[in-house]
Amino acid sequence: MNLSLLKPEITLAAAAVLVILLDLFIKQKYMTRYLGLAGLVVSGVFAAIMWGDNNPAIFNNMLATDNFAVFFKLLFLGIAFLVILSSADYENKFRNFKSEYYALILISTLGMMLMASAADMISLFISLELASIPLYVLVSLLKDKKSTESALKYLLLGAIASAVVLYGMALVFGATGETQLAAIAQSLGTSVDTTPLGNPGLYMGIVLMVAGFGFKIAAVPFQMWVPDVYEGAPTTITAYLSVGSKAAGFAIILRVFFTAFGVPFDISNNWGIIFAVLSVISMFIGNIAAIPQTNIKRMLGYSSIAQAGYLMVGLATFGLAMPSTVLGESGLLFFLVSYALTNLGAFIAVVIISGRINSDTIADYAGLGKRSPVLALALTFCLISLIGIPPAAGFMAKFYIFSLAAEHGLLWLVILAAINSVISAYYYLRVVKVMWFNEAPAAEKTTTTVAPVVALAICCLGVLLLGVIPGLIMRFVESASSIFPF
C-alpha cells in the first residue's frame, strides 16, 4: 500500500485537525482561516505533483489515483480556497464558531476528493457521507430560525437520498456480485442477458442510484431542498454547496456510469434516456421557477437546477451515442470548471453586496452600478456567463456540450436547451437592469476587506480567460477524461 498517493487527503485531514487544536490556544481566531488556506495550498501542491503519473489504484483497487481523480481534487481544493478566502468578512456572523466553520469546510472537501477517487461502491458511499455530514452542520451555523429549518430539511432529505443510493448499490451488487466499478463493468460485459426485463434488479439499482445522485446535483425531481437551503444557509456555504456539492455529484456520476455502466450499449442507452428526460425537466422547471424570485439566493438556487440540466445534456449524449472521443467528457469537465468559477463569482459578489446593504432582495440592488460600479460589473459579468454570452466562459462551456449533442443526433435536446438559455436571460438580466438602471437609494458607505475582493477578482479573471482562451485547460480536461474505456 503506497500511502504517498494519499498525501493530498492526509494533508487536508491534518490541516482540519490543526485548525480545531489551534482554536484552543489562540485568541486571534482569524488565524485559523490562514491555516485552512495553507492546508489547501499544500494539499493542492501534492495533488498537482501526481498529475500524469498514471499511478495504480490503492486500497485493493478501492481508490483510483488517475488524472480524473487528480483533476477533481484540484477543482475541489480551488473551490474551498475561494470560499474560505471570501469568508473574511462573513465569518463575523458566527464568531463563536470560526474554527469549526473552517474545519468543516476542509473535512467536506476531503470527502469530495475521496468521492472523485472512489473506484468501489463501498468507498464511494463512505466518502459521500464524509462530504455530506459537515455540510448539514455548516448550513445551520447562523443559528437563526431560517438557517435551522433549512438545515433540518437538508439533513432529512439528504439522509433519504443516501438510503436510496445505498439500496441501489445493494441491488447492483446483488445483480453482479461485485462492488468494484471495473469488475461490475466486466460482469455486465460478459453477461448474455442485458435486456431491461431480463435483469430488473440491476436496472432498479441504476434508477435508484440516479435518484440519489440526482439529489446531490440538484436535478428535478430531487431538487426540493435547494431554494430553502440556499436561502437559509450562510451565503458562503450556499456558494460552496452550489459548486462543490454539484461538482462532486457529477464526479461520482461520471466515474460510476462511464466505468461501471458504460457497456454494453443496451445499458448505457437506458440511463442515457433517463438523463435526457431529467435534463429537459430540470432546465424548464429551474428556469421558470427562477423568474418570479425576489431573493437573489433563491434565484441562483433555481438557476443551479437549470445548470444541472445543461450538464446532463452531456451525460445523455454519452449514454445514447457512446462516441469514441473524449470531447464529450471534456465538455462536461470544462463546463464544471467554468460553472464553478462563474457561480462562485456571483455568490462572492452577493456576499460583498449583502455586507454593504444588509439584504439579499434583488430590489435592494438598485443603483449598485453607481455606488459600486466595479462590484456591479463583476456580478454582471458572472450573470452573463451563466446565460452563455461571449466572451464569458459560459458560452464556450455550452458550445462544447451542445455541439457534441447535436453531432450525435440529439438536436432536439440542444434546441430545448437553447430555448432555456433564452428564458434564463430574462431573470439574469433583470438583476443587471436593477443594478444599472434603477435609482440608487441613500445608503451608508461600508468597507470590504481585501480577501473577498481578491477571491472575486480570481473568479472573474478565470471566467474571462476560459471564455477567450479555452485551450488553457482543454488539454488537462481531455487527459482527465481519457481514462474512460471508450
Q: pLDDT band for 419, please (50, 70, 90 cuts).
A: very high
CA 460 to CA 181: how far, in whole Å? 38
Q: pLDDT band for 484, please (50, 70, 90 cuts).
A: low
- What amino acid is encoded at 74 in this protein? L
CA 139 to CA 97: how far, in whole Å? 13
CA 208 to CA 166: how far, in whole Å? 9
Q: What's the half-sphere exposure (Cβ side, CA atoms, 13 Å) at 55?
A: 24
Instruction: State residue 196's pLDDT score.
Output: 45
Per-residue exposure over 124-140, b if at least 16 CB sit within 10 Å of its own CB, e if not: bbbbbebbbbbbbbbbb
Ranges 7-11, 95-99, 169-173, 212-216: which has the least confidence = 95-99
Peptide bond into 485 cis (omega under 30): no
Quick count: other Cβ atoms within 10 Å of Cβ 195?
11
- Grid cell in block for residue 485: 474505456
- What amino acid is encoded at 109 in this protein? T
pLDDT (tens digit, 9 = 90+) per residue, 118-150?
A: 989 999 999 999 999 999 999 988 888 888 888
- Grid cell in block for residue 456: 472575486
Instruction: State residue 208's pLDDT score.
Output: 92
Closest alpha carbon to 48 in 22, 14, 77, 15 = 77
pLDDT (tens digit, 9 = 90+) per residue, 320-337?
A: 776 445 445 567 889 999
CA 226 to CA 213: how far, in whole Å? 14
pLDDT (tens digit, 9 = 90+) per residue, 334-354?
A: 999 999 999 999 999 999 988
pLDDT (tens digit, 9 = 90+) per residue, 277-322?
A: 999 999 999 999 999 999 999 999 999 999 999 999 988 888 777 6
Residue 54, φ and ψ in degrees, nearest 5: 50, 50
- What amino acid is encoded at 148 in this protein? T
Cα separations in angstroms, 6 against 25, 39, 43, 65: 29, 14, 10, 9
CA 308 to CA 43: how far, in whole Å? 28
CA 182 to CA 398: how far, in whole Å? 30
Residues in the chain: 486
CA 8 to CA 41: how far, in whole Å? 10
pLDDT (tens digit, 9 = 90+) per residue, 369-394?
A: 888 888 999 999 999 999 989 888 98
pLDDT (tens digit, 9 = 90+) per residue, 7-33?
A: 999 999 999 999 999 888 887 777 888
Rounded (10°) angle between helices 98-117 and 246-259: 20
pTM: 0.92
Q: Which residue has the cell 461485485?
A: 178
Burial class of residue 148 in the structure, from the number of CB atoms within 10 Å of its CB (0-12 exposed, 13-18 middle, 19+ buried): middle
Above 50 in pLDDT, residue 458? yes
Residue ranges covered by each domain of the chain = 3-481
- What average pLDDT is seen over the chain? 86
